[in-house]
Structure 1
Amino acid sequence: MTREPYPTARRAESDEILHDTPVADPYRWLEDPDSPETQGWLLGQADLFKRQSEPQRFRDRIAELLRSGSVGVPAWRGTRHFFSRRTPDQEHAVYYVADDGAGGTERALIDPMALDPSGLTTLDAVQPDKEGRLLAYQISVGGNEESVLYVMDVATGAQVEGPIDRCRYSPIAWLPGGEAFYYVRRLPSTELPEGESQFHRRVYLHRVGTSTEDDVMIFGEGLKMTNYYGVSVSRDGHWLQISASEGTAPRNDLWVADLTASPPDRPDLQVVQEGVDAQTGLSFGRDGKLYVHTDRDAPRARICVTDPATPGAEAWRDLIPEDAEAVLSDFAILDDLDRPVMLVGWTRHAISEITVHDLATGERIGEVPAPGLGSIGGIAERPEGGYEAWFGYTDNTTPPTIQRYDARTGETTLWAASPGAVDVPPVRTSQVVYRSKDGTDVRMLVISPVDGDGPRPTILYGYGGFGLSMTPGYSASVLAWVEAGGVYAIANLRGGGEEGEDWHRAGMLGNKQNVFDDFHAAAEHLIATGVTTPEQLAISGGSNGGLLVGAALTQRPELYAAVSCSAPLLDMIRYEQFGLGATWNVEYGSAADPEGFGWLLGYSPYHHVREGVAYPATLFTVFQSDTRVHPLHAWKMCAALQHASTGAGPIVLRNETEVGHGARSVSRSVELSADTLTFLARHTGL
């Protein structure tokens, strides 16, 4: 098989000495996206990809399966509830309000396509005020995630506030009455050193109808530039809670203030937790008690209770203790009952469940029926209390639904389904346990056709980072692949959160190689059990999962036939210098630190490309407006692999404009998924 020639990429002599170690970087010139040389190389790659991607399969079927639409968990405020829904033909979900009671009507409040028919505008976040009269919402354009904040009058749809810029990842904490809210905003770039405009957040109090110039800075001065802040106000406006975490660190500092004893613009913040290696959040109950969700001394998390006047750990009393196997993820309180209860959400080996407990003693008294073995998200209650709760549910063959639980009867009923009728193919789903290199047991979900056995073309997917859990969910791509005769496997690697915080930490910093070993072992298990063969095995991952498959293809190139590597981190020596990389050194380590440098150089995929190796066929998919992970990682790695590989499979780059790391229109999602599956099918024999 004659491989098509690649666009020319100049190899520069650019060794850099770091910690007395030479570090090669022959394609550093690709870090400049605006240079004529980079632009010419990208045009050549675009031509190559176009020739490699035809004829395309899967597009129509993925689009058909996505016609299921979607629906979101409701938020109840006053006499209204708010929710999102996407109908079969919509590019983006629309945000609605509905008036409660008999004859209540629903109205669309925010339709991204009405704001921008091009489909490039996304709705990033929403927060109704406590009475349901005003709605704060954040939108961004072209995938850059640079959220701009607005406030809308719910009754009229009129804009009453905004635009307020620099609000990326900002929580909104309304004070009662809707006259003011706390929020998080970055300092102006004019006040910051070059390269730091994505950082330096502060917590402000904003009074609706006033200039942001008059906003009062509440918190953040003098703390680390990479800090993220959380802020919330209790339902009755009594308590303010502020959380600070260094980047994505799995720990936070926490303060509370009594807003009845100090003014909102000068809250008297008291320390709840500071300098402690744990994550803690507070919920102020309607019964006057303080409920604490924490993994302090409990890696799988627990719920404690105390008096708000004594919020420190020394006063905590266990209400729901840590479980030996399940991770405690969520809770809600239902108190309009003779015996008030707490609903507690868990993930047990990546499968969700909800248990029912006596609110006073924590005694388990039942469980909430769920539709199947899947993922439950966002248990919602009425802020004023009640006997019912709502939660999202999905699994591998069920589009998102909203379920309603009635604590009086103990029954769960369907409250809202995704609005589109879809012919979902039959699949067989099993959870298997395999052993990693060091003897650790790891779980993997395997989705396969119901008829016949392997070996079959298989995609192995993983993430393994930041404590994120890979749980079952409806996926048009997975279903289209399995319907075509393939197998799709999702590994619950260390670095994720499926088994709690210890599981996360076993795959971060100096333990990162465990993640890659878990992934290789997953591949070997699929081969040893006859599911697939190395010639039929593809691997896929995005973002941190892109780092995963980048490391996998450089460490074990003979094990994989094809690779899909999306929005990846690949140059781990320089990752902190681009995008939001500086906020991730708490997960990966820093090249500025000699020990961290050793970890990173030990696996950095870009630095482990070797000439004369037959690497798998590899597709890089990157997004020009990605402000989290710069496309330069994939550009440099693509050039290095094209230079080095002797494999018969191609190394190609799909470089997409006007989209970013996160949300995108449905049609853009369809095209990306179809291109990815077509490539993997071609090189695994599907």
Structure 2
Amino acid sequence: MYPESRRADVVEDLHGHKIADPYRWLEDPDSDETRDWVRRQNEFSSAVLAKLPAREWFHQAMSAIVSRPRAGVPAYKAGWYFVSRNDGTKAQDTLYVAESLEELLAGGRVLIDPNELSEDGTDSLSSYSVSDDGRYVVYGISESGSDWNRLQLVDLTTGDELDDKITETKFSAATWLPDSSSYLYLYYPTTGLAEGTDTSKLSGAQLKLHRVGTPQADDELVLEFPENPQLVMFPKVSDDDRYVVVHIAEGTAHSNRLWFYPITTVNGRSSLGEPVKTIDEPVAETTFVRMAGGRAILSTDLDAPRRRLVSCLITDGPVVFEQVVPEGESQLQFALGAGDGLVTVSLDDALPVVELHALDGSNSRRIDVAGGALVGINAKPGVDEVFVGLSSLTAPVEASVVSATTGEVRRLPELVPTTSTDFVPPEITVTRASAPSKDGTPVPYFLVTRADLDYAEPRPTLLYGYGGFKVPLVPDYRPGWSAWLAAGGVLVLANLRGGGEFGSEWYDAGRLDRKQNVFDDFIGVAEELQRTGVTTAAQLAIHGRSNGGLLVGAVMTQRPELFAAALPCVGVMDLLRFHKFTIGAAWASDYGRPDDEADFRTALAYSPLHNLEPGTSYPPTLVMTADHDDRVVPLHSHKFTAALQHAQAGDNPVIARIEVDAGHGMGKPLAMVASEWADLLAFAAGYTGLRPTEA
């Protein structure tokens, strides 16, 4: 018997449709009834998870995996070198600083240790920014995985915290101005709101200027769009200190405006002039890279679905582009100024390629670094050192320093602490393949297996996907992959339309009224895996997070017989009300606007919550969310769990694992990461027939 979920008589008329919403009371996370429901669901899921035969094996494996020592990607900023490290015993990574790279490799000095900020290890470092004179660092702290951050000022030389804080910001790091005594950040006015306020109606982000030593209440307003609260701003100071370049986009849309604010610094005080609106019509995705004389080098997908580099004069439009690096066969991901030229990262069939270019785009050279995903790249005009970090499916980061002048690569294994762990990742084989979607479109995927096993017979398989927001899915490191592969399972990563692997056209084919293509792509891969004998319907588990949680929810309601287990995590499950909570309205780029009748009809056709049919046998399902997720709020998972438990026919369990004091995913302490992955993999193993001890 499932925990009781009260069904209320709530019905809305939306565009002529009577929409029942019996679990709307679960939208209030702070009510006593919701809290009691969460408690009872966790008790129920704990009892189910405790009976899984592989749970202890996966808990031990995951504890060993997250205990592996690791380091991040170094960065050079204002005469200092920085890197994050963890010897595997700390809940959160610690930020180290040194005056030279060799000193950093030898250990460096602890600058910020988030582990000292909370007893349970749930406070995490979200950002850090260094003033141009190397005197100050502003760092951001997230509590319990929240998108809301507080900014704290630190003296870089002494490490002492100064009495200067920003308490209301999110989706923002500090952007220092050249005077090294002021910085920009995003402010979201929420103080004083009445309880129950519809947060989708809030005034939007405000770009503010904070001067060190003054209270946040005195900060100067630089830019806001009260007529459109979904517009967000991302500032960057040009490398010649002449401009603050502001990228302006609507929510998660990729097309943007580009405004240049002239900077004037007089008597050690920087101020901003009126903006030069070089791009004021959001017809393409265009980002600032660096200055080249009096011209700005930009990355754009205008007339180039896979992006190219161009240059232009900084004038009020219309803008005229001159080509610097033409569009290639690969998808251009990033471009940065490096030394006297440029460094780019492209995706070649979803694998990263790093190249150096002269400032005019000539003399292009591919750099000898390899991996499944780019973890980070830190470069700066006028600085020869380019720091690159790449991961693989079983290794978190391999960092290198590259000369922007010669292209010489130096690996930096000494960054990683030398303490050991018992876990040795398995040798793996990665195969590239594709499957036909419903409309015949080839859908690429990575097929990953343990190198020493025989795959003549079908095996338990975990299929993972995302397919949205132009986010590329690449063979990157996730702690659970090593454990699943070590246990003898097959891992499949599907490159679905809606992602960012193959350019703007691939993305556009999987959003708005074409969103069903994403689900058809995922189903096509699942059918191909069964057709080719990789696995069977009784051995196939599907997994996805956030937009990928929506993916899992949609395909399990459309084709429940195709899967042995479903693992939707922090998913967007109510496509008719997502826009009414926190930043949900910003997702209109992919999901449309439910207040528009055409978008409503599209969303209703695939919304997981609204496509559950009572009396249907759905696969065993583990729904995962967190009580402090303020991005995809937990009501999505709560309502879907209650509705699925009500609809479920047969004995396949439907359980909800609701993490306490955690958010959407970032910043979780290591023990929490290990426990979540262990339960997820044990559930997948239990219902696909994977037996780790027999592999």
Check whether TM > 0.5: yes
Q: What SS is found at the alignment partner of 1:535? A: helix
1:581-620, aligned counterparts within 5 Å?
581-620=584-623
Contact 2:579 2:585 in 1 (8 A): yes
Cα displacement (A) at 1:296: 1.7
> SS state of the match for residue 540, structure 1?
strand
User: How far 1:237 sits from its partner (Å)?
Assistant: 2.1
Match of 1:268 in 2: 274
**Aligned equivalents of 1:221, 1:26: Cα separation in 2:** 37
Residues 353 and 376 in structure 1, CA contact (< 8 A), matched pair in contact too: no
Contact persistence 1:358–1:365 (CA under 8 A):
yes
Aligned partner of 2:343 in structure 1 is: 343
Say whether 1:479 aligns with 2:445.
no
Does residue 63 of the first structure (1) align with residue 63 of the second (2)? Answer: yes
From 636, 644, 660, the equivalent of 2:639 is 636
For 1:472 and 1:572, how far apart are their aligned partners in 2?
Answer: 29
Residue 364 of structure 1: how far off its partner (Å): 4.8
Q: Residues 201-220 of structure 1 correspond to what in structure 2 (within 5 A)? A: 201-220=205-224
Q: CA deviation at 1:277?
A: 2.2
**Measured at CA, do residues 267 and 34 of structure 1 come closer, stay the same or move farther in structure 2, by a change above 3 Å?**
same
Deviation at 1:171, TM superposition (A): 3.2
Where does residue 85 of structure 1 map in the other structure? 85
- TM-score for the superposition, normalised by structure 2: 0.93
Structure 2 distance, partners of 1:117, 1:460, is: 36
After TM superposition, give the deviation of residue 250 of structure 1 in Å: 1.4
- Do the aligned partners of 1:122 and 1:140 also contact (CA within 8 Å) in 2? yes
Report if aligned partners of 1:617, 1:647 keep a CA contact under 8 Å in 2. Answer: no
Give matches, 1:284-323, under 5 Å. Answer: 284-285=290-291, 287-307=293-313, 309-310=314-315, 312=317, 314-323=319-328
* Aligned equivalents of 1:191, 1:49: Cα separation in 2: 36
Shift, 1:638, TM fit: 1.2
Query: 1:221 offset after TM fit, Å?
Result: 4.3
Cα pair distance change 1:602/1:251, threshold 3 Å: same
Q: 1:209 to 1:367 in 2, by over 3 A?
A: same
Farther-moved stretch of structure 1 (204-213 vs 72-81): 72-81
Matched position secondary structure for 1:149 = strand
CA contact (8 A) 1:76 1:82 kept: yes
Contact kept? 2:617, 2:649, Cα under 8 Å:
yes
Q: CA deviation at 1:321?
A: 1.0
Aligned 8 A contact 2:253 2:589 in 1: yes
1:23 corresponds to? 19
Indicate conservation of the 8 Å contact 2:356/2:365, yes or no.
Answer: yes
Separation in 2, partners of 1:311, 1:354? 33
> For structure 1, which segment, 629-638 or 420-429, has the greater mean C-alpha deviation from structure 2 after superposition?
420-429
Q: Secondary structure at the match of 2:67?
A: helix
Paired AA for residue 315 in structure 1:
V
Q: Identity over aligned residues, as a percent?
A: 35
Q: Which moved more, 1:169-178 or 1:541-550?
A: 169-178
The residue that corresponds to 2:441 in the other structure is 440
Residue 479 of structure 1 and its aligned partner are, at CA, apart by: 1.2
In the alignment, does 2:393 pair up with 1:391? no
* Alignment partner of 1:401 is 2:398: yes
Greater displacement, 220-229 / 570-579: 220-229
Cα separation, 1, equivalents of 2:426 and 2:349: 25
CA deviation after TM superposition for structure 1 residue 286, in Å: 6.2
Q: Letter of the aligned partner of 1:363 in structure 2?
A: S
- Any idea what the Cα deviations from partners look like across 1:210-235, whole Å, max 9, x if unmatched? 12222111111434112221011123
Could you tell me the TM-score, scaled by structure 1's length? Answer: 0.94
> How much has 1:191 moved relative to structure 2?
6.9
Q: Kindly tell me: are residues 373 and 274 of structure 1, through their superposed partners in 2, closer, same or farther at Cα, counting changes over 3 Å?
A: same
Aligned to 2:693: none
The question of whether the paired residues in 2 share the 8 Å contact of 1:352 and 1:374 is answered with yes
| 1:76 matched residue in structure 2 | 76
Task: Report the 3-state secondary structure (helix = DSSP H, G, I; strand = E; otherwise coil) of the residue aligned with 1:437.
Answer: coil
Q: Relative to structure 1, is the Cα distance of residues 132 and 384 closer, same or farther in structure 2, using a 3 angstrom cutoff?
A: farther
Give 1:134's match in structure 2, choosing from 117, 133, 136.
Answer: 136
Residue 363 of structure 1 is matched in structure 2 by 362
Gaps of 5+ in 1: none
TM-aligned CA distance change 1:645 to 1:254, over 3 Å: same
Query: RMSD of the TM alignment (CA)?
Result: 2.1
- Cα displacement string for residues 41-78 of structure 1 (whole angstroms, at most 9, x for unaligned residues): 33322221111011423011112122233322222123
Rate the CA distance shift 1:442–1:483 in 2: closer, same or farther, 3 A: same
Question: What is the CA-CA distance between 1:398 and the residue it aligns to?
Answer: 2.6
Amino acid at match of 2:538: E
Give the conservation status (yes or no) of the 8 Å contact 1:201–1:225: yes
Structure 1 position 685, deviation (Å): 0.7
Q: How far does residue 355 in structure 1 lie from its aligned partner after superposition?
A: 2.4
Q: In structure 1, the residue corresponding to 2:516 is in which secondary structure?
A: helix
How far apart are the structure 2 equivalents of 1:591 and 1:47? Answer: 35
**Which amino acid is 2:446 matched to?**
L
Taking a change above 3 Å as real, the CA distance of residues 306 and 266 of structure 1, as seen in their structure-2 partners, is closer
SS state at 2:245 partner: strand
Rate the CA distance shift 1:99–1:288 in 2: closer, same or farther, 3 A: farther
- CA shift, 1:511, in A, is 0.8
Distance 1:548 1:536 in 2: 19
Distance (Å, rounded) in 2 between the aligned partners of 1:319 and 1:409 = 20
Q: Give, in whole Å, the separation in 2 of the partners of 1:223 and 1:96.
A: 43
Letter in 2 for 1:631: P
Please give the alpha-carbon distance, in whole angstroms, between the structure 2 residues aligned to 1:355 and 1:102.
25
The whole-number CA distance in structure 2 between the counterparts of 1:639 and 1:212 is 43
CA displacement at 1:473 relative to structure 2: 1.6
Partner of 1:182: 184
Show the counterpart of 1:249. 253
* 1:407-427 residue CA offsets vs partner (Å, 9 max, x unmatched): 454332212454355511111
Q: Provide the C-alpha distance between the structure 2 equivalents of 1:344 and 1:23, rounded to a whole number of angstroms.
A: 49
2:399 is matched by which residue type in structure 1? I
Q: Mean Cα displacement is larger for which, 671-680 or 232-241? A: 232-241
Q: Distance in 1 between matches of 2:347 and 2:595?
A: 37
- Name the stretch that deviates more: 504-513 or 179-188: 179-188
The amino acid that maps onto 1:446 is L
Q: Return the letter of the residue paired with 1:178.
A: S
Q: Give the partner amino acid of 1:440.
A: T
Within the candidate set 223, 226, 229, 2:233 is matched to: 229
Residues 407-426 of structure 1 correspond to what in structure 2 (within 5 A)? Answer: 407-416=404-413, 417-419=415-417, 421=420, 423-426=424-427
Would you say the 8 A contact 1:241–1:256 is kept in 2? yes
1:619–1:679 CA contact under 8 A, matched in 2: yes
- Aligned to 2:397, the other structure's residue is in SS state strand
Match of 1:375 in 2: 373
Residue 537 of structure 1: aligned partner: 540
Secondary structure in 2 aligned to 1:160?
Answer: strand
Aligned to 1:125: 127
Secondary structure at the counterpart of residue 259 of structure 1? strand
What's the secondary structure of 1:68's corresponding residue?
coil
Structure 2 SS opposite 1:285: strand
Map 1:462-501 onto structure 2 (within 5 A). 462-501=465-504
**Per the alignment, do residues 124 and 652 of structure 1 end up closer, same or farther by CA in structure 2, a change over 3 Å counting?**
same
Alignment partners' CA distance in 1, 2:277 and 2:50: 60
Greater mean deviation of Cα atoms: 426-435 or 183-192: 183-192
Q: Name the stretch that deviates more: 340-349 or 117-126.
A: 340-349
> What is the CA distance between 1:143 and its match in structure 2?
2.1
SS at match of 1:190: coil
Partner of 1:682: 686
How big is the shift at 1:36? 4.0
Structure-2 separation of matches of 1:243 and 1:521: 37
Quote the Cα distance in structure 2 between the aligned partners of 1:285 and 1:47: 58
Tell me whether 635-644 or 540-549 shows the greater mean CA deviation. Answer: 635-644
Whether 1:511 aligns to 2:511 is: no
Contact 2:338-2:381 at 8 Å conserved across structures: no
The secondary structure found in structure 1 opposite 2:493 is strand
Deviates more, 1:592-601 or 1:261-270: 261-270
